[in-house]
Structure 1
Amino acid sequence: MALVPYDEHVLSGLKRFHNSSTTYTFSNHTIRIKQDWKELGVAAVVWDAAVVLCMYLEAGGVNLQGRSVIELGAGTGLVGIVAALLGAEVTVTDRDMAMEFLKSNVHDNVPKDLEHRVSVKPLNWGTGLQHFSHFDVILGADIIYLEETFQELLETLIHLSSEHTTILLSCRLRYQRDHNFLDMMRKYFTVDQVHYDQKVDVYIYKARKAQRQEF
């Protein structure tokens, strides 16, 4: 969600993020994702949490066939692209300044016969929510990391979900504040850990509303 160009010296060891593109294979499709760390920072590279979530979806962690899906803080769009390949009707979202980059990756990787399944829209958490209704599935990869966005993210999750919505959040829990956000969610949702990838230290949490809540 946040487009913060980090100082290259801070994470100098993460050379792969400086590559202009990276390639994956999901759902029998080769997906070539453009990256742009220098201009757009953390939102324009593929993080481990996105790959782990894609693997979970491909393995059938949740049925996406014919379901309405929204990806929050999509960044490069990898998760939304994979969701479309798996049969979902997908809305891929991020902040306004990431739109052209995001649209380019979606356009380059969604087959022509599936383009009708995918739309790319700007969404700043906590604002303009009246333009979005409920979705069957909400996806987010590594979107729990900026404490100042937590309240708006929670408000957005509540608005987009009904009692029948499944939320999947893939994340690396780096700090206590990340655990604090999960505790915030538990006031409105049941939250369960459903997967852990020990190799890259990434968790996937599933959340659902227990009952209707007024935010």
Structure 2
Amino acid sequence: MALVPYVENAVPALSKLQNSSARFHFASHEILIAQDWRNLGVAAVVWDAAVVLCMYLELGHVDLNGKVSIELGAGTGLVGIVAALLGANVTITDRKCALDFLSTNVKANLPSELEECVVVSELSWGEGLARFPAGGFDLVLGADIVYLEDTFVPLIRTLEHLCADATVVLLACRIRYERDGAFLNMLRRKFTVDEVFYDQNRDIYIYEARKRVPRSDL
């Protein structure tokens, strides 16, 4: 996620994001996520898309047990933490400037027996992808990562690298602007994309994407 400076009372509706922590109950665990909007901005608060994606995972629509997973633009790490609690082996990623904060949340919320199931790693989309196995993930997760137009091409390049034909991509987002729809159109050129869930109260969509498999001539 990109970092933006904190602005006091810029949007009153976002006041909950200014709290120093947020508490959740997922996967039979109490999860306490530290937030730091004042110093780190959008990467250090829990957005609705992350909560909805965690709800979706908890409903069991995706088999997580033993699955090799990666979260992109993890921010506070809530989604990756929940995925690990539900049985996945997770690489939780974000930009270098967010890693210390991210790591603190991960360590604070994982039982000791799950520590080996989670790795926190730097990933700036489109850069250094050779550090991650090509097509090496069963599941790719992203919550509220579609909002900066300049990142769309490197994000899709990253997804192409991480995904095998059978990889499932789950993206949770709010369609705010025309450019958000444009991203989905860009994604559809490389992946099949389906809307699989919609939270009306929060206005959050979850899209499932899979790599397009080239058709062979018979």
| Structure 1 length-normalised TM | 0.97
| 2:85 corresponding residue in structure 1 | 85
Unaligned regions of 5+ residues in structure 2, if any?
Answer: none
Give SS of 1:143's match.
Answer: coil
Residues 35-67 of structure 1: per-residue CA shift (max 9 Å, x gap): 000111001000000000000000012111000
Give SS of 2:196's match.
Answer: strand
Counterpart selection for 1:177 from 169, 176, 179: 179
Amino acid at match of 1:173: I
| 1:117 corresponding residue in structure 2 | 117
Q: Report sequence identity in percent.
A: 60
Residues 117-137 of structure 1: per-residue CA shift (max 9 Å, x gap): 000001000000000012100
Provide runs of 4+ in structure 1 moved above 4 Å. Answer: none
Asked if residue 162 in structure 1 is aligned to residue 168 in structure 2, the reply is: no
Unaligned regions of 5+ residues in structure 1, if any?
Answer: none
Contact 2:7 2:38 in 1 (8 A): no
RMSD, aligned CA? 1.2
Asked if residue 3 in structure 1 is aligned to residue 19 in structure 2, the reply is: no
Paired with 1:152 and 1:7, the residues of 2 have a C-alpha distance of: 29
| Structure 2 length-normalised TM | 0.95
Amino acid at match of 1:204: I
Q: Give the Å deviation of 1:10.
A: 2.9
> How is 1:15-164 mapped onto 2 (pairs within 5 angstroms)?
15-133=15-133, 134-164=136-166
| 1:194 corresponding residue in structure 2 | 196
Q: How many residues align?
A: 213
Q: Give the Å deviation of 1:13.
A: 2.5
7-16 vs 26-35, which deviates more? 7-16
